Amino acid sequence: METTVKRIILGVTGGVAAYKAAELARLLVKRGIDAQVVMTAAAGHFVGAATFQAITSQPVYSDLWDARTANGMAHIDLSRAADLILIVPATADFLAKLAQGRADDLLSTLCLARDCPLLVAPAMNRQMWDNPATRRNIDQLADDGIVLLGPTSGPQACGETGQGRMLEPEAIVEAIDAFVQPKTMKGLKVLVTAGPTYEAIDAVRGITNRSSGKMGYAVARAAIEAGAQVTLISGPTSLTPPAVAETVAVTSAQQMLAAVEARTDEADIFIAVAAVADYYVLNPSENKIKKDAHILTLELAPNPDILANVTRLDKAPFCVGFAAESENLEEYAELKRKRKHLPLIVANDANAAIGSDEVDLILLDDAGRHVLDKADKLTQARRLIEHIAKLYNARFQ
């Protein structure tokens, strides 16, 4: 089940970060989301209503007594039509209003009168964020089921640096995506491997492969979105890890094996996405091997099979493997699944999948084959996580 948001009330309050709300509105509209902006009076000191109206092609509301809605009750009419309300930025003052249940303007009133989720992206000076009063308000909002997006730490408009900086618009959009995904793995611990491994030949050369790590990182993110506590063990990539519980950076297959074995006891599900090098170099040189006219001979030995080692454990987690093949895709993938005693394996064409942003996947399990038509890797990861959750729940719950 893929969930989308069609209509958002974008509440803008009076903070310097209000200018970022305009970029956020642009991103939402670009995704086909109907963004209805509601501003506080203070927000107008930082960014104009005309800006938002031009971006969203929607009238901007700020007056509690605005009569433009169907029955003249904007705080009811606007909130009833929304899938969620998002406050960007959420100042310390507005957070206090929400915590206390105050309703003295249109935005605070429609937040109180809502019947949809409320998400807030705080933005304030670091000392305001750390103030005991703000901390109490944040705790109250969490107890009330209001979802906080951030803040993060970084440079602030006042010239100081610290916690209280609002998330960037792209990160907020990702957080919305995550929020609306079904929580099919809530409470589960998921271990994911991603990326290639690198086996040293000498101080500067090595054996690796073309895996970008994109699929593994997408799987980790999709598992987080589904409510899991995720540990990501990654070989060398240029990607920024998702906000997992733990990220472990490794280089070689032996290091990846050690990292996996140290964490499998706590894992409910193990998803082996990494493209592990099949061989490593015996006796690699500590120094750079100088080029000469002679043929260089390398002695290679097989790397450990990380997934097979995990499936052989007495109390193995629910294991999912990946099979990237350049020929006989389903035949080779199914042989791998049976050889490693896997409840599920994901088959993909190595020639088409490695390094690409979109991929076709075929899921093979005891019930047969399930084709996931071509889509971006995050979409495929979400579909995969949904399928894994169904198999896991059928087996253990």
Q: pLDDT tens digits for 285-317? A: 999 988 886 788 899 999 999 999 999 999 999
Question: Please, what's the b/e burial string for 41-54 (b: 16 or more CB within 10 A of its CB; e: otherwise)?
Answer: ebbeebbebebbee
Q: Please say if the pLDDT value at position 242 is more than 90.
A: no
Q: Does residue 237 fall inside a structural domain?
A: yes
**Length of the chain, please?**
397
Q: What is the DSSP letter of 367?
A: T
Q: Please say if the pLDDT value at position 388 is more than 50.
A: yes
Residue 25, burial from CB neighbour count under 10 angstroms (0-12, 13-18, 19+): buried
pLDDT at position 304: 93
Is-contact 55 25, C-beta < 8 A?
A: yes
What letter represents residue 395's amino acid?
R
Q: Does residue 2 fall inside a structural domain?
A: no
Indicate the number of domains in the chain.
2
Record the tokens describing residue 62, joined without a space: 């700020």
Q: How many CB atoms lie within 10 A of CB 97?
A: 23
Helix (H) or strand (E) holding 339: helix 329-339
Looking at the structure, do residues 176 and 194 belong to the same domain, yes or no? no
The CATH code of the domain that includes 77 is 3.40.50.1950
Is 0.85 surpassed by the pTM of this model?
no
Average pLDDT over residues 362-371: 94
Is-contact 298 277, C-beta < 8 A?
A: no
Q: Does residue 1 fall inside a structural domain?
A: no
Q: Does residue 77 fall inside a structural domain?
A: yes
Q: What is the pLDDT of residues 93-113, one digit of tens each?
A: 999 999 999 999 999 999 999
Whole-number Å distance between alpha carbons of 20 and 185: 33
Average pLDDT over residues 64-93: 80
Q: What is the DSSP letter of 294?
A: S
Looking at the structure, do residues 195 and 107 belong to the same domain, yes or no? no
At residue 160, φ and ψ (nearest 5 deg) are -90, 170
Q: What is the pLDDT of residues 173-210, one digit of tens each?
A: 988 988 988 999 999 999 999 999 999 999 999 999 88
Record the tokens describing residue 65, joined without a space: 């007594």
Looking at the structure, do residues 268 and 129 belong to the same domain, yes or no? no
Q: Please, how many CA atoms are within 13 Å of residue 13, restricted to the half-sphere of its CB? A: 24
Q: Of 215, 221, 271, 226, nearest to 242 (Cα)?
A: 221
Looking at the structure, do residues 207 and 143 belong to the same domain, yes or no? no
59: preceding bond cis by omega (within 30 degrees): no
Q: Of 52, 54, 55, nearest to 37 (Cα)?
A: 52
Looking at the structure, do residues 377 and 294 belong to the same domain, yes or no? yes
- Give the domain range for residue 380: 189-396
Sequential DSSP letters for 206-221: EE-----SHHHHHHHH
Is-contact 213 249, C-beta < 8 A?
A: no
Whole-number Å distance between alpha carbons of 131 and 232: 34
Whole-number Å distance between alpha carbons of 363 and 347: 6
Looking at the structure, do residues 233 and 352 belong to the same domain, yes or no? yes
The CATH code of the domain that includes 257 is 3.40.50.10300
Looking up tokens 């454990």, which residue turns up? 313
Q: Does residue 74 fall inside a structural domain?
A: yes
Report the first-to-last Cα separation within the chain, whole angstroms.
20
Looking at the structure, do residues 282 and 366 belong to the same domain, yes or no? yes
- Among 120, 151, 180, which residue terminates a domain? 180
pLDDT at position 2: 46
Whole-number Å distance between alpha carbons of 119 and 145: 9
Mean pLDDT of the chain: 91
Record the tokens describing residue 239, joined without a space: 């990607």
Catalytic member of 111, 116, 158, 319 = 158
Query: In percent, how much of the chain has pLDDT > 90?
Result: 75
Looking at the structure, do residues 143 and 205 belong to the same domain, yes or no? no
Is-contact 270 264, C-beta < 8 A?
A: yes
Q: Does residue 163 fall inside a structural domain?
A: yes
Whole-number Å distance between alpha carbons of 200 and 283: 9
- Among 134, 151, 180, which residue terminates a domain? 180
Q: Please say if the pLDDT value at position 3 is more than 60.
A: no
Looking at the structure, do residues 78 and 167 belong to the same domain, yes or no? yes
Is-contact 273 219, C-beta < 8 A?
A: yes
Q: Does residue 142 fall inside a structural domain?
A: yes
Q: How confident is the model at residue 1 (pLDDT cuts 50, 70, 90)?
A: very low
Looking at the structure, do residues 256 and 129 belong to the same domain, yes or no? no
- Among 180, 215, 249, which residue terminates a domain? 180
- 349 alpha-carbon distance from chain centroid: 25
Looking at the structure, do residues 71 and 166 belong to the same domain, yes or no? yes
Annotated catalytic, 158? yes
Looking at the structure, do residues 23 and 155 belong to the same domain, yes or no? yes
